[in-house]
């Protein structure tokens, strides 16, 4: 987790200016992102028409997990409206929500319950 950032700052701008892109480059890893991240091919893998069926499903599943996690955090209500208690309290609140969501994941409650047969057969 990184932040909080002021409203109106796009995810791609935060990615490029606040260290995540540089960190991924340093450790030689790639992230999976939606088409809003096109142009950062060395760091983010986005939709590619030439991907195999299994890779397309893997990317789709990863993005759906991300959106499901976002939905889980919004269920707690600290992200769907204006937070009026200062950025430090917001950061604490958001971190607590993420810990609760992580606990749910660790208890093996799935984020996205789909079996991908192409991946399971390999």
Q: What is the pLDDT of residues 87-106, one digit of tens each?
A: 788 888 888 888 888 887 77
Shared-domain flag, residues 62 and 116? yes
Measured over the CA atoms of residue 87, residue 11, residue 96 and residue 25, the dihedral's sign is: negative
Shared-domain flag, residues 69 and 117? yes
| pLDDT of the residue at 50 | 93
Q: What does residue 45 show for φ and ψ, rounded to 5 degrees?
A: -90, 120
CB atoms within 10 A of CB 37: 19
Is the previous residue joined to 4 through a cis bond, with omega within 30 degrees of 0?
A: yes
3-state DSSP percent of the chain in helix, strand and coil, to 5: 55, 5, 45
State if pTM tops 0.85.
Answer: no
**Distance (Å, rounded) from C-alpha 21 to C-alpha 23?**
5
Shared-domain flag, residues 41 and 56? no
Each residue's pLDDT tens digit, 4-57: 677 777 888 888 887 888 888 999 998 888 888 888 888 989 888 999 999 999
32 SS3 class? strand
Shared-domain flag, residues 93 and 111? yes
Q: Is the pLDDT of residue 116 over 60?
A: no
């Amino acid at each position: 987790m990184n932040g909080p950032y002021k409203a109106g700052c796009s995810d791609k701008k935060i990615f490029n200016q606040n260290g995540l892109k540089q960190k991924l480059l340093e450790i030689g890893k790639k992230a999976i992102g939606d088409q809003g991240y096109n142009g950062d091919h060395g760091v983010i893998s986005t939709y590619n028409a030439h991907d195999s069926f299994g890779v397309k499903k893997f990317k789709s599943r990863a993005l759906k997990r991300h959106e499901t996690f976002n939905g889980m955090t919004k269920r707690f209500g600290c992200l769907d409206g204006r937070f009026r208690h200062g950025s430090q309290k917001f950061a604490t609140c958001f971190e607590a929500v993420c810990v609760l969501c992580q606990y749910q994941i660790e208890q093996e409650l799935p984020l996205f319950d789909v079996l991908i047969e192409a991946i399971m057969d390999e």
